Structure 1
């Protein structure tokens, strides 16, 4: 038997050696436009090397054209002659061309120098299919585009008072391409921002100008600066460090190689992402796939990147709406790194009764520790029983192993009767099934935790709302032992919030009744005219069946219109019971139906602007409460305009702009009745704060509760030019659908 195993082992090793020896070595030429030591190029090479690390039969040869230092036609011709001499009979299985200069060079000498080898490009600015010169069947790759628009949006979000963007660039080939992208974006921001563009100054003049920038309303957009107007060459970090040394304003960028040398951050192109995406395509081609079967990646894989040191330097916060991002130079935080572990340990302490089962197995120490264990158990039991929150823990089979007095009181059962039962024995079947499934999912992840909001309706008792804080606990052998849960009763809080919301709605009823009066004015006039016409027709003996039917038809149209107004008013007062997807356009249309005439007769023009490319924008939340928020802000704007323009013939303007970001929809409500005084602008969302005589001070406070607490959105206010701007952000439906239920070892759900 031993000899058979030795023969089999020798056979396997021999076959493996033969397979490795017999496999053909594949050669890849990686041609870089720039030089070794340039961070962009080095990061790209590192990503490619890591992607090919497991391919023992692939050899990568890297060449550097060094065009940042010299890019004359004579130099490029000399390079072509050198490579032609270097590779007279050498045919590469694949050419990888990094950045524009390398791609142009490979395409120009594709047949004479590179023997028509397949091409994968990466890091290409200003891409257009005509750049490929008809070689589509031989070429594919990854486009590089700077995301200037997203970076400008980020700058505006991080600095509400931003007015001027100082743009630094050079006149290199890449710099001119980036300038072209900037020129396409500027028209969208010309009404909000002033742009000062510089690409023709020497470094001393640049530093002098930067040193005079106003830190209150200015930021720098650092695009590229490898050469100044004198032709002086800088490394990727030298120019940025020169500028940062004299700058008192934050610097933002669009290239990841500037991170860590003075930029706050931005939506940045990533050399690593470029290298990884291009390597994936290259490996597919080496495995036999044709380049024309691999689509060109025309969306640059850019990432939000930030430098913690620069954020701290200017006291800037990362906006909540940008989603995934990376922070460099972030100091180590034990709590942030091990947050789940810390909370799991806290909850495991509350499950101390489970530890007693492990300690009981230790016979040697049993007598010595029995008294201590008993005291500890009594202490923990007393501690749990003094807590007002119901607490319980279950094993992996879903059986209740213990609970505190609050949980026993909730179920109106003694503790001993609860022990050993399952959720199906104690709770309504639908509720039990739902939460048993959630517990099963939680038990799949050691040291997992979750936060789940749920409504409980036990027979013969009123409905109660709880937040369930759950975590798994472990046995001595590190296996999952079960689930611990703390129930936080939020019934009173929810009822109070709902009461305040309804109270806020009632505060709007005066405005609504006035709006209905305007809505009914014309139908009542029409009905009056119809009645008079009927009387006249009767006296003139013209009241035939057809005439009566016509009068009835006209009357019913007016009555139906008035009925619809009352129905809309009733729907506004009705609270939403659950979250759902709804159309922002429809919500705004219903609001303008209710108050449009009242606003018009108040000598105010109301404009609603939707960007057509977004179509019908769908959001997720409580529809009626959302409409209440918008109605409250519009009514406040109307009152402000009426008070400001009282006694004049000036027509007020309320503008509503609606657009969407990646995860949220933004509604801006702007009035032209002047700015909000700086002394009160930070208090407008405080409860019971009002500047209106007889006002309740609840409207904007409840707007904040609805948007931020109930819909997980954001509401803010800012001053514009002679205007006040209220900004409401709510989650898009797509963000809610894509949100994971379980993430790593921690899960969180919000059900309201």
Structure 2
């Protein structure tokens, strides 16, 4: 055992020593952000990318920030080139991810100076120019994720939610005539067949916007498209834009989710972080397969989002859109308002559930135990009744044995006297005497055999044994054949096949069950004969096997059992006879089902009753 432990320890040391040799080299990504640090729009894209990278620990990313509107200045470019050169001395990158157009333009311009073989994956741009990429000689290295702003859809949303709209203000970063794509917002509006006025207010400073829209205008609204600069060289900060948007007294809709909780009504929003997720997944594909083809894809993930506070303030109905949507800034729910109490309840709830489950289990177990106790008592009663029945049969057997013993002595005496008379007769009388003596001896032997058979039949079985069903039935019928004969009943025993049908059980008790059924049939047939309904009775016993089962069907022409009595005939002490004791069929069912593991039931045929017994074959 010690040798195995030593060998295992040595193997562990070897694996620990050589594992760094087999570790995969990390893949490095350089993210170049067009905007300053904490600029929310680009920060959400980078956050989405990094969340994808977290699930792929072999990928590591560095982020370099540019300076927004000053990004295109030569001085800023030189500082940026110096920063990247320093990083390149220490790190080799496998992929460059420029965020938005400023960083993308920088990478195209200085790729030959700063990089070698790295592929480029842009993110967040609205347009891609193949001509520009070819001019830089980098088209074969470029992949990207484009974003689109649902301007047309949001104008349609505004018109649906404000049917009486008379004027729509467009707050965007570009000129009033042209978006970066070259497609004017006015051209989009013209395709919608609307009659409201449009005014562009992207050239107003934040304080001018706040002053102009400080009073309510019921039939006016504003569409917010990217707006960060105003009349200044530096970008507005997000909190400054959010403050002004929240103070405006007209509803402001937006094309992305950036300020959804900070002053805008909402709309069909581009999910900014989802652009990062898509970019991160494409980056993993390119890194894991260097020969993967370049792809320019468009992120089309949108969601209808509305600010509950602004919806209520301006009395708007997003349900008119027939679109699924979600609210932000909803009222605090009762559960949220009383969170500490709810949390406390949830802490106690498992204990309460366990207590309830314990009580339910305890009640269930008590019910089950009571059920088992009742079943045991019932079984005990059945067993006691079986023992009592056996005891009664034993007593009858002993009494009958005494009678048989007393009966046999006279029979022996009769046989002796007959034979003695034969020997003392004269020669002339011997011939006639022989015939009388033979007749007397035959009757004596018959009476002796009958007494012996009945004595065996009446004695209860002490243990189970394997016996032939057909033989047992024939023996039982032989004992009562005179009774059957003098009641004008024809008995037919029909056994199918020549195979012996053997069962394991109590033979004498089994014959008793059949005797009960046959006697009941005999009594019922007698009633019908007395009423003149039939001339002769008929009892048919069919015996056959099916797979591992033996089936015995006993039918008669006694008229059957009434429907109301049929379900109760096996109940203890239930009888249909004036002087019946109601124990015969109950004991029959007890012997067949409880003691021999079989099944018995009764049914009606067109001419009478039929008792069917199923027993397991012992062969």
Higher helix share: 2
Bigger radius of gyration, 1 or 2?
Answer: 2
* TM-score, normalised with respect to structure 1: 0.42
Given the two structures, how large is their TM-score scaled by the length of structure 2?
Answer: 0.50
